[in-house]
Structure formats: C-alpha cells, structure tokens
C-alpha cells in the first residue's frame, strides 16, 4: 500500500533470450521496472480508484495535470468487480497478488491508481511511467471519460483495453516500440499489448443486439513476458481441468494451466475445428456466429493432454505427452506426435497418424473407411469395440470391418492388432507382430517375423509362421476346452525356429495364494499334484494338458498339429 507522496518499491527486471517476448519488455532500462513488494512468495500489488466513493483524492506536487482536466471522474463503482477480474487475468498466469484499497483523505492510495480524465486526448487511456519509478504516479492508469463510464464486463472493448493498461502498469511495453516484435506477430492474437485487432474480433451477440469484443485474456506472448518478470502462477489450474467451449460463444483467449491431466472438449461444435496441443500453439474453433482464426492459444510450459472434437471435419494435433484424441463425427485428421497416444476418429472417413511412441488406434469405435498410420514405436490397432468379427491383414494393409459397420480401413506402420469379442481373422506381416484375438473363435497367423500370438477366449487357431514365435496364454479361461476336439490349436509349432508356449501369466496351482509355475512332466500321467503340465500324442497330433487343482484331470488343453517331442525348454512356465 502506498501514499500519494511516496513512490512504491520497484526493481529492474531482465530481458529474455526470445525476441518475441523481449518486444513486450521495456527497451530503456530506466523504465524496465517491476513491482517488488513480496508477501507469502508472491509479488503483491495494490490498486485504488481515484475519487472512488466520492472521497477526495490527493496528488503529490508535480504529479501531472490529469486531475485538473476539463472532464474528470471516478470509474463506475458498479464495475469494480469487472476491474478486479481484469487484474485477475494477470494474477492467474503470473506470480502476482492484487488487492484493492480505498483512497483516503489522509493520502492512502494503491500502487496502481485508476481514474477518468479528458487529458488523455483521443486515446482510450494511458498508463503513467517515471524513470526508475521515482514518482508515486508510476503505474497509474487514466481513462478517457468518453469510454470509461461504459461497462468493463468481459467481451467489451473496455475489458480488453483495461487488461492492456494493467500490462503497462506491470512493466510491459507495446510490441511496436523499442524492441520490435518479429514480422507477423504484432496482433492482439499474440499479445494484447498490440494495437492491431485479429480477424473476427467483433462478434454479434443477439442477446444484446450488439457486437461483443471477444478478447478475454492475456495472450501467449503476454503470458511469457509477464512470467519472465514475475514468475509463473503454479497454483492456477494445477489439477485435472476440462476446457469446454460453446459454438455460440466466440472468444480469443489463452490457456494457462499449471498441471494435472487436462481436456479440451469441443463435442458441441458442428463446424470444423483445428486444435494444436503444442505449448505456444494456436487453435481455430468453428463458431456459428463469427469466423475467427487462431483464437485459442496454449501458453508455453503448458501441457494439455486430451481433446474431443465435434461434428465437423476436425484436425486434432497432439504434443509430446500421452494424448487421447477423439475426432467424433466428421472426416477428421488426428496426429499424435510424441508420446504413447490413443486416437479415435469416430464417425466419418478419418486419417489417424500416431507419430512417435507406442500409439493405440481405436478402430472398433471408428465408423467409416479410416486410415491408420503408425510410426516409430510399437503401434496398435484395436477392434475391441466391434460388434461382429473383423479381418485384419497387416501385410496388405487392410482392416475389413464392413460386417460390423466399421468400413474398410487402411493400415500402415502398425505392429500390433487386437481383435473383437467375436470370430476374427488376424494376419501379420514381415515385422515382429503382436496379434491378440480377444474373444471369439479367432484365426491368427503371424506370417514372417518373431511374432507374439494371443488367442484370448474362444477356440482359436494360431499359426506363427516363420521366425521365433511366442504363443501366449494369460488365463485358464482363455483355453477353449480340455480335449483335442474343443481346445485351441497351434498349427506350426517348431522347436527349431525357437517357438515358445508362454504360460507364465497363469497361476499353476489354484490351491495356494502364491503365483506358482507349472512343473513339466513330459509324457507321464498326472500325479494328482496341482501345477503339472504334460503332453501326449493323439491322432497324429500333440496334446498339451495342464492340471491346476491336483485332481489328476486336465483343466485345459492345447493341440499342436503334428507328432512332436516336447521338452521343458519349449515352454515358459
């Protein structure tokens, strides 16, 4: 809190290494000033309303002539809450705390004072600055009475202009003075310290029968610059947050989010949206009453993980985090970029690209003829949501879900496939594939490569193909039966190729709480000991059997085509 004769404490701040942000910082070191009163780890700045509540305000000698102009006055008291909200937009993003104080006849004033004066001329207003912050007038905001008696609510020009002047009071400069912002960035899309409006900034509001001015927050470069001066507010939106927008409520704004797992939700939008989740990037939303471009920014050092598209032909771009991108209706384009992403196109003919990482394409949820493009990492196409069986061939790059109403998909750069709960046909390619049947009586062929095959529940037929393949069984319930005619079949088990039958996920002894391994007993009969695994030649084929409860009877079986001589080394027990 200050007095009218006493200058508030300030300090000189430093420049950054980025020319875009420096363009918002003062070029003259004498004016490169930040407030310096700190309490509870935050820079505390007070503000007051000149002549507020009808109280006489005092001014130091040499203050200036704003208070003696032809027209002067106080800001409307009914807008004090809106003024507080304008200050809050800066406190949300920077390590700042603002408090309103009342001016008194004894000379108590805020660090920043706000009043109306015709001395500002034709301008909306201005903010006073003094070299070194030597005078109490430093940081005071004077507003043209022609505009200053109107509302300061969000979606008015007054609200945005006030945020602009508060930016000056906190130490920011115009991007076209001193340090010059790079070409193409001197717009309020990037910084509210600019004088240049973006396209569509005035949007007609039928409820008011008037136009809104729709810049609602400091923008990406404003946030970077103010955080360079005061630090970031790391408690704002630090949890899991959903940013849900309405197609009838247009805006220009930037998200500052300090942590958590966060979502941009555009499911109510019917027009095309472009969303880029990279920090510092901009997105364009398809509003119904105005056309805008680059209206939603994501501040630097912010990670938004997930995005839901709407009914339009959307483009959703992920970042380096593990993103979940859902296109929903429309012919969408989804790009995961880095991280282990989850991508679903929804209805329509979609193109989904995973990028780096181990990505998952939710093909069972996608209605249409979709294209799935993997990339570096082990990528998965899953048809788990399909309502009938599907046929997927990685060698030809086709996933046929037409019987399930899913369309015919194009698949490339994908190593893993999961089928539906029904009878699927899954074929690999020359790579090391992981093919999982899920439920149903599946036919799975790994083709070339060292493949991993999981039949899942149902009576499955598994073919490894050339290469050292693994046939994995994770639960006893996955074995279809305990006899040669009811059990799963492996058609080409070859010890010489290095094939293995993997039973390690199964607890071999159901009578104990421990996770026991099987004991391989060759062709010997069961000994009424839980956890035994044996095999026998029957009908020219090899029948593998397991007893998990010690009753001497097979609880599951697996048929290997051909008469084979098995050893313990053919299994992972």
- Tell me the CATH number at 383: 2.150.10.10
Inter-CA distances, 416 with 120, 223, 352, 565, Å: 68, 42, 16, 31
- 459 falls within a domain: yes
- 212 falls within a domain: no
CA torsion, ordered 46, 50, 51, 53, to nearest 10 deg: -30
Domain stop point among 407, 442, 472: 472
Please give the mean pLDDT across all residues of the chain: 96
CA torsion, ordered 389, 395, 396, 397, to nearest 10 deg: 70
Same domain, 171 and 43: yes
From the number of C-beta atoms within 10 Å of its C-beta (0-12, 13-18, 19+), residue 442 rates as buried
- 1 falls within a domain: no
Mean pLDDT throughout 470-488? 94
- The rounded distance, in Å, linking the Cα atoms of 316 and 117 is 48
3-class DSSP state for residue 169? Answer: helix
* Number of DSSP helices (H) and strands (E) in the chain, helices first: 5, 45
Inter-CA distances, 255 with 208, 220, 483, 497, 561, Å: 27, 8, 61, 55, 61
User: Which stretches within 419-540 are classed as H helix?
Assistant: none
- 53 falls within a domain: yes
Q: What percent of the chain has pLDDT over 70?
A: 100
- 203 falls within a domain: no
Inter-CA distances, 553 with 35, 221, 435, 527, 573, Å: 82, 72, 31, 10, 19
For residue 546, the cross-strand partners are 533, 556
What integer pLDDT is reported at residue 358 of this predicted model? 98
Same domain, 182 and 263: no
Phi, psi angles (nearest 5°) of residue 52: -65, 135
User: Which stretches within 388-467 are classed as H helix?
Assistant: none
- Give DSSP secondary structure letters for 68-97: GSSSEEPPPGGGHHHHHHHHHHHHHHBSEE
Domain stop point among 420, 442, 472: 472
For residue 276, the cross-strand partners are 317
Q: CA nearest 463: which of 450, 449, 446, 441? A: 446
3-class DSSP state for residue 236? Answer: coil
What integer pLDDT is reported at residue 7 of this predicted model? 83
Using pLDDT thresholds of 50, 70 and 90, give the confidence band for residue 273: very high
What integer pLDDT is reported at residue 16 of this predicted model? 96
Using pLDDT thresholds of 50, 70 and 90, give the confidence band for residue 451: very high
Write the CB contacts of 445 (distance below 8 Å, at least 6 apart in sequence): 426, 427, 428, 462, 463, 464, 465
Q: Among 207-211, 300-304, 457-461, name the one with the lowest average pLDDT.
A: 207-211
Q: What is the pLDDT of residues 286-330, one digit of tens each?
A: 999 899 999 999 999 999 999 999 999 999 999 999 999 999 999
Parallel, antiparallel, or unpaired for β 541-547 and 242-244? unpaired
pTM listed for this prediction: 0.93
Same domain, 496 and 467: no
- The rounded distance, in Å, linking the Cα atoms of 536 and 553 is 14
The two three-digit tokens of residue 40, written as one number: 């509870």
Same domain, 506 and 453: no
**For the chain, how are helix, strand and coil distributed in percent, rounded to 5?**
15, 30, 60
Mean pLDDT throughout 345-367? 94
3-class DSSP state for residue 427? Answer: strand
The two three-digit tokens of residue 20, written as one number: 């875009």
Q: What is the pLDDT of residues 14-34, one digit of tens each?
A: 999 999 999 999 999 999 999
Element (H, E) at 166: helix 157-169
> Does position 210 have pLDDT exceeding 90, yes or no?
no
Domain containing 383 equals 375-472
Q: What is the pLDDT of residues 142-193, one digit of tens each?
A: 999 999 999 999 999 999 999 999 999 999 999 999 999 999 999 999 999 9
What integer pLDDT is reported at residue 121 of this predicted model? 96
Q: Among 200-204, 363-367, 431-435, name the one with the lowest average pLDDT.
A: 363-367
- 215 falls within a domain: no
Q: Answer yes or no: 165 catalytic.
A: yes
> Does position 567 have pLDDT exceeding 90, yes or no?
yes
CB burial of 335-360 (b: ≥16 within 10 Å; e: otherwise) equals bbbbbbbbbbbbbbbbbbbbbebbbb
Residue with tokens 């994908």: 414
- Residues 52/125, Cβ–Cβ less than 8 Å: no
- The rounded distance, in Å, linking the Cα atoms of 31 and 11 is 10
Q: CA nearest 487: which of 463, 460, 506? A: 460
> Does position 405 have pLDDT exceeding 80, yes or no?
no
Element (H, E) at 560: strand 556-560
Same domain, 401 and 261: no
- The rounded distance, in Å, linking the Cα atoms of 56 and 67 is 11
Apex CA 40: angle with CA 38 and CA 46, to 5°? 50
- Residues 199/183, Cβ–Cβ less than 8 Å: no
The two three-digit tokens of residue 248, written as one number: 């009838």
In CATH, what number is assigned to the domain containing residue 119?
3.40.390.10
- 370 falls within a domain: no
3-class DSSP state for residue 546? Answer: strand
Residue with tokens 């003075």: 177
Same domain, 281 and 322: yes
What integer pLDDT is reported at residue 404 of this predicted model? 72
Residue 373: Cβ within 10 Å count: 21
- 209 falls within a domain: no
- The rounded distance, in Å, linking the Cα atoms of 38 and 296 is 32
Same domain, 28 and 71: yes
Q: What percent of the chain has pLDDT over 90?
A: 92
Same domain, 506 and 459: no
Domain stop point among 442, 472, 502: 472
What integer pLDDT is reported at residue 1 of this predicted model? 61
- The rounded distance, in Å, linking the Cα atoms of 451 and 456 is 16
Same domain, 52 and 161: yes
What integer pLDDT is reported at residue 3 of this predicted model? 85
Active-site option among 66, 165, 415, 478: 165
Parallel, antiparallel, or unpaired for β 202-205 and 141-143? unpaired
Q: CA nearest 388: which of 372, 370, 371, 406? A: 406
Same domain, 463 and 487: no
According to DSSP, residue 345 is labeled -
Largest CA-CA distance found in the chain, in angstroms, rounded:
111
Same domain, 256 and 136: no
Same domain, 52 and 78: yes
Using pLDDT thresholds of 50, 70 and 90, give the confidence band for residue 402: confident
- Residues 420/400, Cβ–Cβ less than 8 Å: no
- The rounded distance, in Å, linking the Cα atoms of 56 and 442 is 86
Q: How many domains does the chain have?
A: 4
Q: What is the pLDDT of residues 83-102, one digit of tens each?
A: 999 999 999 999 999 999 99
């Amino acid at each position: 809190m200050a007095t009218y004769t006493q200058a508030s404490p300030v300090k000189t701040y430093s420049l950054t290494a980025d020319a875009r942000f420096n363009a918002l910082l003062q070029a003259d070191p004498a004016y490169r000033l930040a407030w310096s009163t700190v309490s509870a780890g935050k820079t505390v700045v007070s503000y007051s309303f000149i002549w507020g509540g009808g109280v006489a305000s005092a001014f130091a000698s040499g203050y200036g002539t704003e208070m003696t102009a032809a027209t002067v006055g106080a800001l409307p008291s009914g807008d004090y809450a809106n003024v507080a909200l304008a200050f809050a937009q800066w406190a949300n993003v920077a390590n700042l705390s603002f408090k309103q104080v009342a001016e008194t006849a004894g000379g108590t004033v805020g660090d920043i004072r706000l009043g109306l004066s015709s001395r500002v001329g034709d301008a909306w207003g201005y903010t006073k600055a003094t070299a070194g912050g030597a005078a109490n007038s430093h940081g005071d905001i004077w507003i043209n009475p022609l505009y200053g008696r109107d509302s300061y609510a969000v979606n008015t020009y007054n609200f945005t202009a006030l945020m602009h002047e508060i930016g000056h009071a906190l130490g920011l400069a115009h991007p076209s003075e001193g340090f010059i912002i790079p070409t193409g960035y001197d717009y309020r899309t990037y910084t509210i310290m600019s004088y240049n409006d973006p396209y569509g900034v005035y949007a007609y509001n039928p409820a008011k029968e008037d136009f809104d001015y729709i810049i609602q927050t400091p923008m990406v470069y404003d946030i970077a610059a103010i955080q360079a001066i005061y630090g970031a507010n790391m408690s704002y939106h630090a949890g899991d947050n959903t940013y849900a927008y309405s197609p009838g409520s247009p805006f220009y704004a930037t998200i500052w989010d300090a942590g958590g797992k966060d979502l941009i939700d555009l499911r109510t939008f019917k027009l095309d949206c472009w969303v880029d989740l990279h920090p510092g990037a901009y997105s364009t939303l398809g509003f119904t009453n105005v056309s805008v471009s680059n209206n939603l920014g994501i501040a630097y050092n912010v990670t938004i993980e997930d995005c839901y598209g709407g009914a339009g032909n959307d483009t959703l771009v992920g970042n380096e985090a593990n993103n979940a991108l859902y296109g929903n209706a429309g012919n969408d384009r989804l790009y995961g970029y880095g991280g282990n992403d989850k991508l679903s196109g929804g209805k329509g003919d979609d193109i989904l690209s995973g990028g780096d990482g181990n990505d998952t394409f939710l093909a069972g949820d996608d209605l249409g003829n979709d294209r799935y493009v993997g990339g570096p990492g082990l990528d998965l196409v899953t048809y788990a949501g399909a309502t009938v069986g599907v046929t997927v061939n990685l060698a030809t790059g086709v996933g046929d879900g037409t019987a399930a109403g899913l369309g015919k998909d194009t698949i490339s750069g994908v190593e893993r496939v999961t089928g539906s709960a029904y009878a699927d046909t899954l074929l690999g390619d020359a790579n090391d594939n992981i093919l999982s049947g899920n439920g149903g009586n599946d036919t799975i062929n790994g083709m070339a490569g060292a493949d991993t095959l999981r039949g899942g529940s149902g009576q499955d037929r598994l073919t490894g193909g050339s290469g050292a393949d693994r046939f994995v069984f994770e639960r006893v319930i996955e074995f279809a039966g305990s006899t040669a005619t009811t059990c799963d079949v492996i058609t080409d088990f070859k010890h010489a190729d290095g094939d293995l039958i993997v039973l390690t996920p199964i607890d071999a002894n159901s009578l104990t709480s421990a996770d026991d391994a099987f004991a391989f007993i060759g062709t010997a009969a069961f000994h009424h000991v839980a956890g035994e695994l044996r095999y026998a030649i029957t009908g020219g084929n090899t029948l593998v059997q397991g007893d998990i409860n010690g009753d001497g009877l097979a609880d599951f079986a697996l048929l290997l085509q051909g008469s084979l001589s098995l050893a313990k080394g053919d299994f992972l027990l």
